[in-house]
Amino acid sequence: MVPPPGAPPTPGPAPWGMWPPPPPPKRKKSPTILVVIVLVVVAIVVLAIVAFVITQPRANFVEIAKRGPAGNSMFFDVTMHTSGASIAVDQLHVTLRSVRAGVVFDQVVYYNLETIPAGTTFVWDVDVLIDPFDEASFSYEFGLQVNGTPVDSSTVS
């Protein structure tokens, strides 16, 4: 049918169709996917913690042998063992205190001048000042630090 002259055109079908397309069907979220994602994240965190612990340098005292006095010093052979990772220069510190009646008489800090490989056992010759006329009243406190963290301690009478 043709509209009369001057009349507005009759609307035809819309170019996109009469009705909007139906929405896509909703997908159900599978709990299996969520569980897998959580397990992967947990596994990554556990592996990172294990890698961090394994790669940390560690050290401990194996033996502290009192060699005896000489002059106004007491001498010791300190045997230590490293593990984990190598210890960089100036990162292993041995603190030695001579203590008399609960008071520190002298304190000395020894540190490594070379990198110490992991799995190394070594001996340091250390000494600390004492009163040679009152040697029997002293005890000796040893502290071991790696990267600024205390890792071992011992007391020798």
Length of the chain as a residue count: 157
**How many CA atoms are closer than 13 Å to the CA of 2, on its beta-carbon side?**
3
- Classify strands 92-100 and 73-83 as parallel, antiparallel or unpaired: unpaired
Tokens of 107: 């304190």
User: Residue ranges per domain, the chain?
Assistant: 58-156
Q: Averaged over 119-134, what is the pLDDT?
A: 96
**Mean per-residue pLDDT for 33-55?**
89
**Residue 141's beta-bridge partner residues?**
97, 155
Q: Are 74 and 135 in contact (CB under 8 A)?
A: yes
- 32 versus 13: which is more confidently predicted? 32
- The pLDDT value given to residue 28: 72
58-156: CATH topology: Immunoglobulin-like (2.60.40)
Confidence category of residue 44, pLDDT binned at 50, 70, 90: very high
Tokens linked to 36: 């897998």
Q: Please report, for residues 27, 119, 138, the alpha-carbon distance to residue 65 in angstroms, rounded to integers and kept in the order given.
A: 73, 21, 15
